[in-house]
Structure 1
């Protein structure tokens, strides 16, 4: 039976010049695990919004066609009624929290469905254990980090065991461990409970291994509906920006696209390109040299300096513990670590939004900060009213000038908020960004990385995306429990590991310090040349 059916659906937002969905027809069976792919503003979020009734009942605009969810026609049933069969986690989980504590937030949906106290308590406990948030149950929602809040939003959606779960970039603010655990949990719910999972993601390498099927959108139209391997083969020629880093790496070696790291390693072994006797000396396999690393402390000046910074909450819990950090002029640093490690708190202290409990923060000039929630920076009803025409054009958003910021995709909102923060004036001494890649597709992330590397400001960017960190950063600072546990060149931190490593580095085992597919392709080409040069006896 169908869990979700679209019949010739076309949807256009108010004041939008073109439809967000164009004549979409698709049938998703009960118990399928479906990944929704596509560039930013391709129609992924609108597709999920139509699947839960928010489009058109909440967003308005023009809507044609038919959507049937769990046997309920969205024409006749609004989001509240559809919510009995559908659990939803949107791009901006901060807008989903309605109560003050995590326990109350998880219980809210169960209580609304009429569950008794015992069943509600059991449901809260089970979902908290499944998501690893049992330690957050009595925490205030406003104290949570973005990643912790994302897991709470997911818990609230899953607590009632819905027939269908719709997730819009659910791993965008999760650390690598939590992201992998989330995909594993969704697969388990899918296999053991028969829950239908529909997940929209930009970082496809995280979830393709669990998927039965991929739906790819472009300009609102469904352009590919295929199993993961067939999708990657299609993407290699029709939509290269949707190909995973592993697929791009192996395509450069003339090998089929893999659905995951294990499959990629097997393909390299079979082709004689894996680590082993055929590997040339390190000097021959090293990727192109990066800009020489210079620790900020070796110069007389610093764009930003934190000395012995402690940050404690009212209850005495320390979020930062004696942090020492120097950022040199024009230096680019990626701040990484698990959810709740203190990354966002460090950035807020750097920008002067919070005063340290102990220690000192000094900046050589203005520190601009883009926080995790881009909607907080958008105050007007028209995109054109948020920034000047020149800034709007520079952000590539002039075509959206008459749209309401609420109706933008997550990536478009992020770019608009970035334009608000940087503004028209001279560049800041330091630009701090907290998870800036949320909602951005690969092309937009590459463009953002290029802009950050070409800009005049020093950069400190908190991110869970090792691919983006490898593109933008000279240096990676790893936080754990409010302390810096690693501070080294990006090639050292992001290779040779498992969680805090790029997919290329995981496939190649960190060989040659290759972090990105282009670097890995050069290393494999060198291995192939060396193998061909081995004399035959």
Structure 2
């Protein structure tokens, strides 16, 4: 179905190719996972499938790419629209209509699909992705996860032979991600659709993949089955890391595979327990105290009388399904968003009553659309401006960026970076200021496992220095490795709040892979297990 014949690509001004000499064949009806660290060229490789690379990116493409016998050199991306459906990393950037139903129908209108067929496919897709209740909603009023499901649905209605998905589950809660992947698997198994997925949250996809394309970052692409390649991959989900630590061969690809080995590992861990999570000292004053916060948009209540106290030295994760009110609560706490009622106190002041520059000194916020905060012409300029605005030592922001996403060139325009690299830059800019309370909305989107670990260390450093961090996220593995405490929102209400292990292990949806494998023991991460087996004290 898809053939790369000695394909290479180099961006204008880049010192080396994104990839070169790539030859591979992806047959019809396969689910192919594209893996690699942030910025290695996964999105570029996907863009070459329908000719978006190099037609819309610039640069020089060598070799030949064909899909179902049609060369991308002889046909424009528009002519591949009926054959290849593409969902990019930023769903909102790809929308062309105003409402959900219109967006689902738009692609079929351009392909001259008949009205009766269009109506039937729209209904099927609404049900398939669980978004029937959103059909008349304006796209810009949806949560990030809801927008992502609509973007996927808008492509599915055209019934393409090839489906290219770039980070399709990054903004989805675990249950919604499973629903989307189930829909994709039905297309693969029942209709013979060929699917390429680039996904940093490999734990969600690896067990379903027929083929793995690994980009190690040296310009090559390694092609094989997940079982053959995952052992040598520099990125791997927690269940694979656990297998490496325990010495399991071959490495497990799923929780079910790992549980076959779990009894022996539980015996090795007998008598050991993870260290207790950090708890606020009795003498500590709250870093932030929110009382009876209510957020409403017209008649729709997004957050309903929520009480939330954040403590210095503590990392709190805010979880819940898409549309549960997480982002609305963060904006209300920060002071920039609407708040119908309730109070927020930080250092004796309500950020909502202060001028913007004073509020930012108390509470910092990185939104989901983080790249909107970038406005200068180069990475170096953004970093230097962040140092000046925060009165930080020169090079502070750049050092943070190098920890999150090494190798980003200072002369690059921020809009030319990959989604993960842009997010890393915005995180570095915001973290340079180190306010008393830092609010982060889905900060790990686009970050590989190494970058997330580096970011987790930065978050922990902020907490260890007396700051308080609240992270709204669907990334259960990041929460397990970083958070001391988890609060869960359900339809605007705070439904759970407690130590991380207690909250996430009580829910099959929010439990990390290691917890599922070693249940009922309270282990959350491979690092905890590794330290326990080595005889070291285990940190949360």
Matched, 1:95 2:93: yes
Number of the residue aligned with 2:456: 449
Matched, 1:403 2:412: yes
Q: Match for 1:376 among 349, 369, 372? A: 372
Number of the residue aligned with 2:355: none
Matched, 1:11 2:5: no
Distance across 1 between alignment mates of 2:474 and 2:375: 28
Give the alignment of 1:248-397 within 5 angstroms. Answer: 248-256=241-249, 257-269=251-263, 272-273=264-265, 284-287=271-274, 289-294=275-280, 301-314=285-298, 316-364=299-347, 366-388=362-384, 390=395, 391-396=397-402
Number of the residue aligned with 2:122: 124
TM-score (norm 1): 0.90
Asked if structure 1 preserves the Cα contact closer than 8 Å seen for 2:32 and 2:197, the reply is yes
Number of the residue aligned with 2:391: none
1:375 CA displacement: 2.1
Unaligned runs of 5+ in 2: 348-360, 385-393, 536-540
Number of the residue aligned with 1:534: none
Matched, 1:35 2:33: yes
Asked if structure 2 preserves the Cα contact closer than 8 Å seen for 1:368 and 1:431, the reply is yes
1:149 CA displacement: 0.5
Distance across 2 between alignment mates of 1:263 and 1:442: 21
Distance across 1 between alignment mates of 2:155 and 2:223: 26
Number of the residue aligned with 1:243: 236
Number of the residue aligned with 2:19: 21
1:520 CA displacement: 3.2
1:221-265 CA distance string (max 9 Å, x none): 334222121122333xxx3xx222112212222212111111111
What secondary structure, in the 3-state scheme, does the structure 2 residue paired with 1:51 have? coil
Q: Match for 1:520 among 499, 522, 529? A: 529
What secondary structure, in the 3-state scheme, does the structure 1 residue paired with 2:383 have? coil
Are the structure 2 counterparts of residues 279 and 405 from structure 1 closer, same or farther at C-alpha, using a change threshold of 3 Å?
Answer: closer
Distance across 2 between alignment mates of 1:266 and 1:223: 32
Q: Match for 2:443 among 419, 436, 440? A: 436
Distance across 2 between alignment mates of 1:29 and 1:340: 37
Q: CA RMSD in A?
A: 2.0
Q: Match for 2:493 among 483, 495, 501? A: 483
Number of the residue aligned with 2:516: 506
Matched, 1:459 2:459: no
Matched, 1:50 2:48: yes
Q: Match for 1:228 among 223, 226, 230? A: 226
Q: Match for 1:493 among 488, 503, 511? A: 503
Unaligned runs of 5+ in 1: 527-537
Distance across 1 between alignment mates of 2:504 and 2:529: 14
Distance across 2 between alignment mates of 1:462 and 1:147: 12
For this pair of structures, how many residues does the alignment match?
Answer: 505
Distance across 2 between alignment mates of 1:210 and 1:102: 29
Give the alignment of 1:101-116 within 5 angstroms. Answer: 101-116=99-114
1:11 CA displacement: 1.2
Number of the residue aligned with 1:167: 165
Are the structure 2 counterparts of residues 255 and 111 from structure 1 closer, same or farther at C-alpha, using a change threshold of 3 Å?
Answer: same
